[in-house]
Structure formats: structure tokens, C-alpha cells
């Protein structure tokens, strides 16, 4: 993660803690600021993504015969590999499912599934034969597609991690706690705003249970 948007988040976080250093790349091995941001930013992003079903991180993939394996996972009939970028699985649907599945009364069209750890690799198990669609949250998104509120929350969360490191004594610790609390408030606002977009914005929809694909 070394694009312009990521650098902007890092420099804004450094500015929040009053550390007037601008980093030009996260690969500056001689820069303590770049090393700290490079280490902390992916973790902060994962924490923010875990707080909602973000429209900008949602992807759909057809699981066909190419994903099917020979593994047996009783009592399920089929075992599938997952796309490499899966973070959280929202649901599985038939490949010919209507868009009405996201409105009230169509919950029966969701395909039941579970997850298995086989040889320390994640697999999806289900009774559905190929092909069907997996709807999921990706873990390799670009910050360019995120909402401004989400970016603000991410910036404050990163600042909360950097403050104790670069602002010494009790001041840095207290600053970190302050920015941590602000990041929580902002991420809740961002999640609320994002939930009002698309088919899932309808309050009458009964959402399928989310299953974390990452242990």
C-alpha cells in the first residue's frame, strides 16, 4: 500500500499529532515515520473495514468448477477454494437469482454455506453445485474508492497508533486515546452513511449472517 491516497492518510495522521514530517514514500527505510506508517496502516485499515459492510469493498465472484476441490467436508457435499481477496463473506446466491433477493421476502434464495480450515487454508463448503455467486468484502481495496468519512476515521485511528510513539510522555498516550475515541465515532458515522446506499439500504431487508473468512 504505497499509493497517493495512503501517503495522504499517513501525512495527515502525522500532522494530527503535531509531527511536522512529510513522508514521500512508505518504502523510506531510513525514515522512522515511514516505517511506522507502513507497519500500522494495513492493520488500521483492516480494523476499519471490520466495522461495516462497505459498498466500496463489496465484490461478487462466480464460483465455478475451477474453484471446486476434491476435499470432503461432511455433511456438506462440495468444497470450494475462495478468491484470494476474500475478507468477509456476505452471502451466496444462485447465478440466476433476481435482484429482488435484496428486498424483503426473498431470504429463501440465499444458499447455505460454512467455512473450513483444511491444511491451514480456508475453504467454503456448501451443498450447492457449481456455478453460483459469492458476495463478499474484499481485503485489497484502494483507498481511492473509500468514502471521505471512512478516510477520516482511518486517519484518526492511524494517529492514535502513532501518537504514543512520536509524542513522548503522558501527552502522547492521552492523545492516542483521544484520537482512538474520535476514530470510533467517525467509523460509526461512515458505516451509517454507507448503509444507506444500494439495495441493502432498505431497512426491511433481513440481512444474511456475516461469517468472517479470516481467522
Q: What is the pLDDT of residues 22-75, one digit of tens each?
A: 999 998 888 999 999 999 999 999 999 999 999 999 999 999 999 999 999 999
Closest by alpha carbon to 197, among 95, 101, 102, 98?
102
Q: What percent of the chain shows pLDDT beyond 90?
A: 74
Q: Is the peptide bond between 75 and the residue preceding it cis, with omega within 30 degrees of 0?
A: yes
pTM here? 0.81
Query: Which of the four pLDDT bands, split at 50, 70 and 90, describes residue 3?
Result: confident
State the Cα–Cα distance between residues 182 and 104, nearest whole angstrom: 35
- Whether the predicted pLDDT of 209 surpasses 80: no
Q: What's the burial of 136, exposed, middle or buried (CB within 10 Å: 0-12/13-18/19+)? A: buried
Closest by alpha carbon to 167, among 22, 44, 13?
13
Beta bridge partners of 79: 125
The answer to whether 207 and 109 are in contact (CB under 8 A) is no
Q: Residue 174 corresponds to which cell in the numbers above?
A: 492521552
State the Cα–Cα distance between residues 34 and 95, nearest whole angstrom: 45
- Whether the predicted pLDDT of 157 surpasses 90: yes
Give me the pLDDT at residue 83, please. 96
Backbone angles phi, psi at 55, to 5 degrees: -65, -35
The answer to whether 187 and 150 are in contact (CB under 8 A) is yes
Of 27-41, 88-102, 146-160, the least confident: 88-102
Looking at 39-181, which runs of residues are DSSP E strands? 58-63, 78-81, 86-94, 113-118, 121-126, 132-138
- Whether the predicted pLDDT of 91 surpasses 50: yes
Query: Which of the four pLDDT bands, split at 50, 70 and 90, describes residue 101?
Result: low
Query: Which of the four pLDDT bands, split at 50, 70 and 90, describes residue 203?
Result: very low
**Across residues 98-116, what is the average pLDDT?**
68
**Across residues 80-105, what is the average pLDDT?**
79
**Across residues 97-121, what is the average pLDDT?**
74
- Whether the predicted pLDDT of 207 surpasses 50: no
- Whether the predicted pLDDT of 205 surpasses 70: no
Of 42-56, 94-108, 115-129, the least confident: 94-108
Amino acid at each position: 500500500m504505497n499509493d497517493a491516497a495512503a501517503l495522504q492518510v499517513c501525512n495527515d495522521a502525522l500532522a494530527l499529532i503535531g509531527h511536522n514530517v512529510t513522508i514521500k514514500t512508505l518504502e523510506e527505510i531510513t525514515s522512522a515515520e515511514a516505517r511506522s506508517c507502513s507497519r500500522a496502516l494495513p492493520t488500521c485499515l483492516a480494523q476499519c473495514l471490520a466495522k461495516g459492510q462497505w459498498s466500496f469493498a463489496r465484490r461478487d465472484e462466480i464460483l465455478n468448477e475451477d474453484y471446486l476441490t476434491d476435499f470432503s467436508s461432511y455433511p456438506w457435499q462440495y468444497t470450494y477454494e475462495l478468491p484470494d481477496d476474500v475478507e468477509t463473506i456476505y452471502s451466496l446466491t444462485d447465478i440466476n437469482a433476481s435482484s429482488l433477493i435484496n428486498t424483503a421476502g426473498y431470504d429463501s434464495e440465499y444458499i447455505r454455506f460454512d467455512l473450513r480450515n483444511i491444511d491451514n487454508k480456508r475453504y467454503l463448503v456448501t451443498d450447492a453445485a457449481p456455478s453460483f455467486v459469492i458476495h463478499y468484502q474484499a481485503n485489497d481495496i484502494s483507498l481511492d474508492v473509500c468514502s471521505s468519512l471512512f478516510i477520516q476515521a482511518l486517519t484518526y485511528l492511524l494517529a492514535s497508533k502513532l501518537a504514543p510513539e512520536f509524542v513522548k510522555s503522558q501527552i502522547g498516550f492521552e492523545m492516542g486515546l483521544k484520537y482512538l475515541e474520535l476514530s470510533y465515532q467517525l467509523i460509526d458515522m461512515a458505516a451509517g452513511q454507507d448503509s444507506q446506499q444500494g439495495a441493502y439500504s432498505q431497512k426491511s431487508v433481513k440481512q444474511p449472517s456475516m461469517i468472517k473468512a479470516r481467522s
